[in-house]
Amino acid sequence: MFASRRVTRPRVLIVEQLNRLDAFSTAQTVYTSLCARGKKVGIATIYRNLQAMAGRQELDTLHMDGETFYRLCKDRHHHHHLVCRKCGRTVEFEIPGFEEWTREGARSLGFSEVSHSLELFGVCKRCRLGATSNDSDASD
């Protein structure tokens, strides 16, 4: 997980906090959550660690409304995300055949070394129903 980086207390706390969340989170959200748990980590340290971890692809990032959101993904291979616009809950998913289709399409147009990012946004079942439970039903 830490890819030959020195394991520091702030990094461990950040990873623990991200593991607690089911959504993409900003550095400010991570900072606020850690403070609420009585953990002292400076906001600059959080930003620096999140950016470094994202640079090493230890985290997925999502850029929205001028902010960067970070998430530890359960699945280390390429995948996509379905993100709730209200609560930020995120579900990882794959589209069978999509990766091959994009490679072939790019190749037929003379492109190589193509990469992509696909995020879908909607409203999850909990938010749609106004539920407060921690139901993780992925069939929303």
Residue 32: pLDDT band with limits 50, 70, 90? very high
Judgement on whether residues 61 and 21 belong to the same structural domain of the protein: yes
Is residue 73 a known part of a binding site?
no
Q: pLDDT at position 55, please?
A: 87
Tokens coding 25: 């989170």
Percentage of residues of the chain with pLDDT beyond 70: 86
Q: Are 26 and 76 in contact (CB under 8 A)?
A: no
In a domain, 137, yes or no: no
Q: Mind listing the pLDDT tens digit for each residue in 48-81?
A: 999 999 888 888 888 888 889 998 876 666 778 8
Average pLDDT over residues 82-87: 86
99 among the known binding-site residues? yes
* CATH number for position 101: 3.30.1490.190
28 found inside a domain:
yes
> Taking the model in full, what pTM does it have?
0.65
Is the predicted pLDDT of residue 136 greater than 50, yes or no?
A: no
Q: Is position 116 annotated in a ligand binding site? A: yes
Residue 1 lies in a domain: no
**Domain assignment of residue 66, given as a range:** 9-71
Out of 29, 48, 71, a domain closes at: 71
- According to the annotation, is 127 in a ligand binding site? yes
Dist. CA 64–CA 74, nearest whole Å: 21
Question: 68, 46 in Cβ contact below 8 A?
Answer: no
Residues 14 and 38 in one domain: yes
